[in-house]
C-alpha cells in the first residue's frame, strides 16, 4: 500500500525515510505539540513551500527548464482567491470562482510562455520568464484600485475556516499532501520518464520520436497550476494578499535555494529542503541569540554569533550544504 501511495518511488534510504516521517508527523501534530501562532505559521509555510518547490522541481529537476516566472503563478493563485474574498459577504462560491479564474489564467499564461519561449534555449528562456514575472509584479503594485497596490488586501475567510485557525491549518496540510503525492505520481509515470529523458538528452528524445516541445509545454503548464494552488493556500492561510508575500523575487531565490539544498529531480528534496530552510529562516536568529549568551565568556565567539548576523550564517550553511551535498541532501542519502 505504501509503495502504491508513493507511486513506487520509495526513499531507498533509512535515514531519508526517518527524516520524511519526522517531517510528516511533525507537521501533522504541530498544533498539538506546540502552542502559539508562530510555530503553526511556520508549519503552514513549510506545507505551502513543499508544494511550491515540488512544482518548480518538476521544471528544473525533471525537465531541465530554468524559469523565473514561478512566483507569478504563485501570486496569481493568491490574488485570485484574495480578491474574490475581499468583497464584504463573499463566501465559498466566490472563492471557488476566484480559484478557477486563477487556474485558467495560469494555464493560458503558461501555454503562451511555453509556446513562444520554450523553443529558445536555456538563458534566453530564463530571461523571458523573468521579464514576464517582473511585468506582472509591477502591474500588481500599480493597479492599486483592484489589488491594493503595495499594501495589498486583507479579507475574511468564510465559515467554518473563519472561526478556526486549526481547521484552516489542516486544510492547508491535507491539500499540500494530496498535491505533493499527485506530483510524485506524475514524475514516476511514463510522462515523467519522458521529461527525464528530455533533461538528459533532448536530441536523443527527439530521435526516439517524442515531441519534446509538447512535453516541455505540458510540464510548464502542470508546474504553473500546482504553483497557483500553492498561492491559493497561502492566501487562505494568511487571509492577506500582497506583492511581497507572493510576487517578490526573494521568493524565487528561496525556491532555487531549497531545490538545490534538497536535491534536484527527487521530489523528496522539496520536503527536506523546505522544512530545513523555513525552520532556519524562522528560528536561526533566535538560536544564535541563545548561543551568543552561552558564549558570553568568549567575546570573539559571542560577537560572531550576534543574532543580527543570522543571514551571514544562513549563507555559510548554504555553502557548506552545497559543498558536502552537491547532489542535494536527498541525492546524497540515496547515493549512500
Its domain, for residue 138, covers: 2-335
pLDDT at 122: 63
Stated pTM of the model? 0.93
Segment (H or E) for 240:
strand 240-241
Instruction: Give the count of domains, the chain.
Output: 1
In the structure, what pLDDT confidence band is assigned to residue 207 with cuts at 50, 70 and 90?
A: confident
Angle at 228 between CA 123 and CA 129, to 5 degrees: 15
pLDDT at 130: 85
Whole-angstrom distance, CA of residue 62 vs CA of residue 199 = 6
Q: Which positions ≥6 away from 206 have C-beta within 8 Å?
A: 212
Whole-angstrom distance, CA of residue 187 vs CA of residue 193 = 7
Q: For 3-31, what is each residue's pLDDT tens digit?
A: 777 777 778 888 899 999 999 999 999 99
pLDDT at 325: 79
> Taking 70 as the threshold, does the pLDDT of residue 61 lie above it?
yes
> Taking 90 as the threshold, does the pLDDT of residue 65 lie above it?
no
Can you give the CATH number for the domain in which 58 is found?
1.10.3470
Peptide bond into 160 cis (omega under 30): yes
Amino acid at each position: 500500500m505504501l509503495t502504491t501511495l508513493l507511486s513506487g518511488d520509495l526513499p531507498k534510504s533509512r535515514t531519508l525515510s526517518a527524516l520524511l516521517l519526522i517531517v510528516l508527523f511533525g507537521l501533522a501534530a504541530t498544533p498539538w505539540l506546540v502552542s502559539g501562532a508562530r510555530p503553526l505559521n511556520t508549519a503552514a509555510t513549510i506545507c505551502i513551500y513543499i508544494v511550491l518547490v515540488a512544482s518548480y522541481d518538476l521544471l528544473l529537476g525533471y525537465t531541465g527548464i530554468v524559469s523565473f516566472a514561478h512566483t507569478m503563478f504563485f501570486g496569481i493563485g493568491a490574488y485570485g482567491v484574495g480578491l474574490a474574498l475581499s468583497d464584504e459577504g463573499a463566501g465559498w462560491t466566490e472563492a471557488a470562482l476566484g480559484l478557477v479564474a486563477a487556474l485558467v489564467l495560469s494555464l493560458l499564461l503558461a501555454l503562451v510562455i511555453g509556446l513562444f519561449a520554450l523553443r529558445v534555449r536555456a538563458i534566453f528562456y530564463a530571461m523571458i520568464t523573468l521579464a514576464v514575472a517582473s511585468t506582472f509584479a509591477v502591474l500588481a503594485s500599480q493597479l492599486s484600485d483592484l489589488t491594493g497596490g503595495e499594501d495589498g488586501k486583507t479579507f475574511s475567510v468564510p465559515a467554518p475556516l473563519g472561526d478556526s485557525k486549526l481547521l484552516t491549518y489542516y486544510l492547508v496540510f491535507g491539500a499540500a499532501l494530496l498535491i505533493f503525492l499527485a506530483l510524485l505520481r506524475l514524475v514516476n509515470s511514463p510522462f515523467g520518464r519522458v521529461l527525464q529523458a528530455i533533461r538528459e538528452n533532448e536530441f536523443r528524445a527527439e530521435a526516439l520520436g517524442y515531441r519534446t516541445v509538447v512535453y516541455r509545454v505540458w510540464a510548464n503548464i502542470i508546474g504553473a497550476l500546482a504553483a497557483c494552488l500553492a498561492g491559493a493556500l497561502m492566501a487562505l492561510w494568511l487571509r492577506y494578499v500582497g506583492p511581497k508575500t507572493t510576487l517578490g523575487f526573494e521568493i524565487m531565490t528561496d525556491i532555487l535555494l531549497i531545490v538545490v539544498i534538497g536535491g534536484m529531480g527527487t521530489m523528496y528534496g522539496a520536503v527536506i529542503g523546505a522544512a530545513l530552510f523555513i525552520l532556519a529562516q524562522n528560528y536561526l536568529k533566535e538560536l544564535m541569540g541563545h548561543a551568543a549568551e552561552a558564549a558570553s565568556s568568549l567575546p570573539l565567539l559571542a560577537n560572531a554569533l550576534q543574532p543580527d548576523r543570522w543571514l551571514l550564517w544562513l549563507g555559510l550553511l548554504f555553502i557548506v550544504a552545497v559543498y558536502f551535498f552537491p547532489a542535494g541532501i536527498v541525492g546524497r542519502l540515496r547515493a549512500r
